[in-house]
Structure 1
Amino acid sequence: MRAGWQLSTIGEVCEVVNGATPKTSVAQYWGGHHRWITPAEMGKRSNPYVDETARTLTDAGLQDCSAKLLPANSVILSSRAPIGHLVINAEPMATNQGCKGLVPASGVHHKFLYYYLGNVAELLESLGTGATFKELSGGKLKAVEIFLPPMDEQKRIVAILDQAFAGIATAKANSEKNLQNARALFESHLQQVFGSGKEGWVDTTIDRCIRFIDYRGRTPTKTEAGLRLITAKNVKMGFLQRTPMEFVDPRSYGSWMTRGIPKKGDVLFTTEAPLGNVAQLDTDEKVVFAQRVIIMQPDPAVLDNTLLKYLLLSPTVQERIRDKATGATALGIKASLLKKIEISFPRDLAEQQRLVSQLDALKSESLRLERTQRQKLAALDELKQSLLAKAFAGELS
């Protein structure tokens, strides 16, 4: 044991308070002056401290349920859906049943406790039980061990972590901005290329030069192995994602793929959930399609298939697609309306291929910049976890 540090459990150094929800159908329980937080709201916050909540309770609402007001500077932990979100309440606050409030004893600094729980997040997750979703019980949380140094040392550790994490937060914000800029740069170039018709370009509609193979509305029987099944979940903006990996029985291929056989380079378009994702089929292997995907095969004598991909990804065409979309829960577009979307592209195939080469090179550079920024973000997350581990091993100097 580290010199001067005492081994305790969460239950010995904190009061653990369960949350609750009053009846949502009773209007007089809601909109009062008592703050009330949920795991969903906690997950949206980047600042450890919270002083306002999306919903509030009246005195009657607080009395109706078993929720209790936590004193300021308690630590609130989401104990289900998911386990591990953390905030510190700057004002008295209640929680719903998906949270546990930890009221630290006089010898425990609230920010030290906050950082400690963040350090043992994987342990807390592993202690959760449940078939539908995991939940961390109060009993298991109370049994979690914690090494506590004297208060002066707790404050020293908190000060070091506060300063280090502020620097990490600034670096992450810069990397995230650079990541957005890399994506925006490519979108801006697409807008310049396809934003308005040019001399020598064809102005037409999708149905005039593109064949649709439409497997929407059909769901094949899935198997543990076999031919790869491609659904809307695999089609991302500009690329085809391998996961989720789903399969169908190879013996069903002939009877299933009766609407048309896709080939490598065909353009894939998602018509809803999500709307407007575009990629190209990247394999010659037999694959099966279903669920909200239209396969587009342009006339090769008129339109290059890779140029069609970039054309559909352009902000101009994406906006036209969304203008024709319908749906209250999830936006979608009917095939009949999609076919009438106006598009414009060079008449000359050599010019199309020149544009494709240019766009491929720019996309490659954009992906390189994105990869660099993601690596920086991952390294910053690793640094944060390393600092936490050192802090609670007594190794911060």
Structure 2
Amino acid sequence: MPEAIPEQQRIVAILDESFDNIAKARANAEKKLRNTRELFESHVHSAFAKRVANWRVKTLNQIATNLDNKRIPITKRDRKPGNYPYYGASGIVDYVAEYIFDGDTLLISEDGANLIARSTPIAFPASGKYWVNNHAHILKFEDMATQRFVEFYLESIKLDKYITGAAQPKLNQKALNSIPIPIPDSVADQMLVVTALEQVAAETQRLESIYREKLAALDELKQSLLHQAFSGQL
């Protein structure tokens, strides 16, 4: 038994040093992940701050058609499984056998804690054939550039003053329609802003993917070291 103690101490020392290094590497990767997201948000804010003469402030109902009256909620027990996405407040929640929408629209969360927390997008596109329940507003635009412009803009601002309810935050249609959007008159100018932001978004996603992979690899390394330690392979 005494002979085992030095070996145990050796393993503990190796694990302590390794876990300390892993913790430092993880903290570094998490910091870079946050910095990447903050840098993207800074680019978006800068893009909308640089307004020029042909930008005008319009309310959302002036540049989009609201299709909320066409939504149909289906309880989970009444849904027939299928291939068409079934959207709710935070994106796809199921796949069903039928659809009620066909084409490009922008969906915006109507209720839920995420309207305040913003841990996931509150404005997200839908295309093709799909179903939408009554937890997401549906906006139809004449041009995809305008839709993408509005999507980026809504994701860049806080909506707290348009939201009612503390226990169950809600962005009702009247409040949604009243949101002012500073937007270029020209669709071509809208597209210039969108193209620039999409390039930054693509690079942001690439970097975020790298840092998430690093975090996953560090978690795997920690588990591997523990397995080796308890199986006598360390």
Q: TM-score, normalised by structure 1?
A: 0.53
Q: Which has more radius of gyration? A: 1
Distance 1:217 1:331, change over 3 A: farther
Distance 1:348 1:233, change over 3 A: closer
Q: Distance in 2 between matches of 1:366 and 1:248?
A: 33
Q: Distance in 1 between matches of 2:163 and 2:133?
A: 20
**Is the 1:176–1:373 Cα contact (8 Å) retained in structure 2?**
yes
Alignment partner for residue 195 of structure 2, among 357, 360, 372? 357
Q: Does 1:308 align with 2:163?
A: no
In the TM superposition, what are the counterparts of 1:51-66 in structure 2 within 5 Å?
none
Question: Could you list the runs of 5+ residues in structure 2 that have no partner in the other structure?
Answer: 116-120
User: Counterpart of 2:27 in 1: which secondary structure?
Assistant: helix
Displacement of 1:167: 0.5
In the TM superposition, what are the counterparts of 1:168-187 in structure 2 within 5 Å?
168-187=22-41
1:395 matched residue in structure 2:
233
Q: Does 1:233 align with 2:86?
A: no
User: Counterpart of 1:333 in 2: which secondary structure?
Assistant: coil
Q: Distance in 2 between matches of 1:187 and 1:226?
A: 34
2:97 matched residue in structure 1:
249
Alignment partner for residue 280 of structure 1, among 125, 128, 141? 125
1:218 matched residue in structure 2:
73
Displacement of 1:223: 2.2
**Is the 1:201–1:347 Cα contact (8 Å) retained in structure 2?**
yes
1:270 matched residue in structure 2:
109
**Is the 1:197–1:203 Cα contact (8 Å) retained in structure 2?**
no
Q: Distance in 1 between matches of 2:20 and 2:231?
A: 21
2:4 matched residue in structure 1:
150
Whose RCO is larger (CA < 8 A, sep 6+)? 2
**Is the 1:262–1:295 Cα contact (8 Å) retained in structure 2?**
no
Displacement of 1:299: 3.4
**Is the 2:123–2:154 Cα contact (8 Å) retained in structure 1?**
yes
Displacement of 1:197: 4.3
**Is the 1:230–1:288 Cα contact (8 Å) retained in structure 2?**
yes
The residue type equivalent to 1:232 in the other structure is: A
Displacement of 1:228: 2.5
Runs of 4+ off more than 4 Å: none
Root mean square deviation, CA, Å: 2.4
Distance 1:348 1:226, change over 3 A: closer
User: Counterpart of 1:296 in 2: which secondary structure?
Assistant: strand
Q: TM-score, normalised by structure 2?
A: 0.86
The residue type equivalent to 1:248 in the other structure is: V
Identity of aligned residues (%): 32
Q: Distance in 1 between matches of 2:179 and 2:81?
A: 39
The residue type equivalent to 1:309 in the other structure is: E
Displacement of 1:338: 1.1
Q: Distance in 1 between matches of 2:72 and 2:166?
A: 19
Question: Could you list the runs of 5+ residues in structure 1 that have no partner in the other structure?
Answer: 5-106, 108-148, 235-241
| 1:295-352 deviation digits (Å, cap 9, x = unpaired) | 1112339x621112111111xxx32x21121112132211101110111011122111
| 1:41-64 deviation digits (Å, cap 9, x = unpaired) | xxxxxxxxxxxxxxxxxxxxxxxx
Displacement of 1:270: 0.7
**Is the 1:172–1:377 Cα contact (8 Å) retained in structure 2?**
yes
2:19 matched residue in structure 1:
165
